[in-house]
Structure 1
Amino acid sequence: MSERKAWTDKRAEIMSRPGAGAAYEAVRIRFELGEAVRLRREELGLTQSELAERAGLQQPGVARFEAGGTMPTIPMLERLAEALGLRLSVQFQPLREAS
């Protein structure tokens, strides 16, 4: 029978693999973007269907995006921002400040 590993040990093992850091960062970005859109949509009292209609998207696409399941294009982010009454702002930050 194999020994169980603590989550921190398992995570460290996974993150030490080549490309794991970049993959983790891509997922983090997708999750944060989706969460920001969901929070703003809820703040405005919109359903996913209403946001989709305003942005020219399909409701399942909004649902996938909010769940962090897709990496959006800049034009898609611009459409979502406009539909949410926001202006898209893209920034570069030094790595030590980005996390």
Structure 2
Amino acid sequence: MAHSTWERTGAERRADAYQEAHEALLLGQQVHNRRTELGLSQAEPAERAGMTQQQVSRLETGGVTPTPALLRRLAKALDAELNVTFTPHAAA
């Protein structure tokens, strides 16, 4: 018996990957905006957060997905609050 009823299609996997990449890019943009708002180079918050300048650069361009611990350190380095919200989907 085939398990095709529970296996995700290639299109579904690509859609999930696209969504994850989009979210990483949005997060990176928020980090970039806050850093430039403070007039900081990438190296300054990197040092404060225990990162390298290259890691901050990759994060700002959406190239990595940071761990919650790293997000907390980075928020502190940028004198910001880390706020995670779960919003229910609209009823169909």
TM-score range normalised by the length of the shorter chain: 0.7 to 0.9
Partner of 1:66: 60
What runs of 5+ residues in structure 2 fail to find an aligned partner?
A: 1-9
- Give the match for residue 22 of structure 1: 16
Instruction: Note the alpha carbon deviations across 1:27-64, whole angstroms, 9 max, x for none.
Output: 11100110000000000000001111111100000000
- What's the offset of the Cα at 1:95? 3.4
Corresponding residue of 1:32: 26
Structure with bigger helix share is: 1
TM-score, reference length from structure 2: 0.82
Identity of aligned residues (%): 44
- CA distance in 2 between partners of 1:95 and 1:19 (Å): 21
The yes-or-no answer on 1:89 pairing with 2:83 is: yes
4+ residue segments displaced more than 2 Å? none
Aligned residues: 81
Aligned residue identity for 1:91: T
Unmatched runs of 5 consecutive residues or more in structure 1:
1-15
Deviation at 1:20, TM superposition (A): 1.6
